[in-house]
Amino acid sequence: MAEPTPRLTTGGKLGQVDATVVPRYAGAATFARLPTLDEVDVADVVVLGIPFDSGVSYRPGARFGPSHIREASRLLRPYNPSQQVEPFAVQQVVDGGDVAVNPFSIDEALRQIEAAATPLLETGAKLVVLGGDHTIALPLLRATAAKHGPLAVIHFDAHLDTWDTYFGAEYTHGTPFRRASEEGLLAPDSCIHLGIRGPLYSTGDLSEDGDLGFQIVHATEIDSIGVPGIIERMLARVGDRPIYLSVDIDVLDPAFAPGTGTPEAGGFTSRELLAIIRALASRNLVGADVVEVAPAYDHAQITGVAAAHVAYEIISAMSPTREA
């Protein structure tokens, strides 16, 4: 008979596999080596994988992102000194596995993602979703807005993702936030893009984006206002509304995230991105995704490690308590 998995347990919360008993490179690669959903009675945060990339317009491969991020998350530890919190001790965090979605029908996949997210949200859990391409943000926004009402969206990305169609398709990784705005899922005075850069199709891209309710902080602005200035603008924009955080890993410069489908030069560093995310610890963060990790283009898990740490900081920011 197999021995029970040795886990850290604090305050009644089932935590990570104990790294002093089982080396980090051994055992199942759940996110941060946390328990699975069926191992607990109640979950506060569910890390959910959505291995889907049928909406990409350039390099495919983000369907392998969830497993890559999980593998890179093995080294994450229980205490986050930057946020002064033990995120797995003050809330029950679990790995909810992957949503099996149709790889040949985007419409069916969107329905399946929303159907999988809705009952988890109804339990009171928050979702931190590992993608997958950015198409998956739309059904997640549908499910989250159904629970919380119109959402303030903080969108880290090199690209606007508010284009109308691509080759006549309404649902792609470049269109989720236009569809979300059209469907009334967003609070139109509280949404913001961070890290936008690179060439556009026309000047109309920017004006149409503004009409959809987004404010833009371009990647180049970090040179003039720095991380504190970006945080100030972000927090002023979202106010006290329920926040959905969507992180396309290509917001990072390709030096820090080569493993992605649509890389653009001139992005944020990993340190800058993590610092900005930490500022959300004081706000009402109700859901998040980390998308567009494509491991076929990654080297030495550079992108996977960055994405794992992004998810870790998001989970920490969702924690209900902090040290004094």
Answer whether residue 151 is part of any domain: yes
The set of residues, in sequence order, having a beta carbon less than 8 Å from that of 67 and lying 6+ positions away, is 29, 49, 51
Answer whether residue 2 is part of any domain: no
Calpha distance 162→215 (Å, rounded): 12
| Mean pLDDT of the 240-248 span | 98
What CATH number does residue 271 fall under? 3.40.800.10
Statement: residue 249 has pLDDT above 50: yes
- 322 falls in which pLDDT band (50, 70, 90)? low
Q: Which phi and psi angles does 49 have, rounded to 5°?
A: -95, 140
Answer whether residue 187 is part of any domain: yes
**Selection from 63, 120, 76, 90 nearest residue 310 by Cα:** 76
In this structure, which amino acid lies at residue 179? R
| Mean pLDDT of the 64-69 span | 98
Which pair of structure tokens corresponds to residue 58? 């350039």
- Identify the three-state secondary structure at position 221: helix
**214, 177 Cβ separation under 8 angstroms:** yes
Statement: residue 323 has pLDDT above 80: no
Q: What is the pLDDT of residues 126-153, one digit of tens each?
A: 999 999 999 999 999 999 999 999 999 9
What's the chain's length in residues?
324
**234, 278 Cβ separation under 8 angstroms:** no
Strand-by-strand arrangement of the 191-196 sheet: 93-98, 45-50, 126-131, 285-291, 243-248, 152-156, 191-196, 214-218
**pLDDT at residue number 10:** 86
Answer whether residue 313 is part of any domain: yes
Statement: residue 61 has pLDDT above 50: yes
Q: What secondary structure letter does DSSP report for 192?
A: E
Answer whether residue 323 is part of any domain: no
Which pair of structure tokens corresponds to residue 76? 């994450």
Mean per-residue pLDDT of the chain? 96
Q: CA 108: distance to chain centroid?
A: 22
**Selection from 9, 36, 13 nearest residue 95 by Cα:** 36
Q: Which residues are paired to 154 by β-bridges?
A: 192, 245
| DSSP E strand boundaries for the chain | 7-10, 13-17, 45-50, 93-98, 126-131, 152-156, 191-196, 214-218, 243-248, 285-291
Answer whether residue 111 is part of any domain: yes
What region does 100 belong to: left with phi over 0, alpha with psi -120 to 50, or beta? beta
Q: Which domain holds residue 220?
A: 7-317
**Start-to-end C-alpha separation, the chain:** 44
Answer whether residue 127 is part of any domain: yes
Q: What is the total count of domains within the chain?
A: 1
**pLDDT at residue number 282:** 87
pTM for this predicted structure:
0.96
Q: How crowded is the C-beta side of 281, counted as CA atoms within 13 Å?
A: 21
Q: CA 198: distance to chain centroid?
A: 22
- 324 falls in which pLDDT band (50, 70, 90)? very low
Neighbours of 320 (CB within 10 A): 8
| DSSP E strand boundaries for 78-190 | 93-98, 126-131, 152-156
Answer whether residue 118 is part of any domain: yes
- 11 falls in which pLDDT band (50, 70, 90)? confident
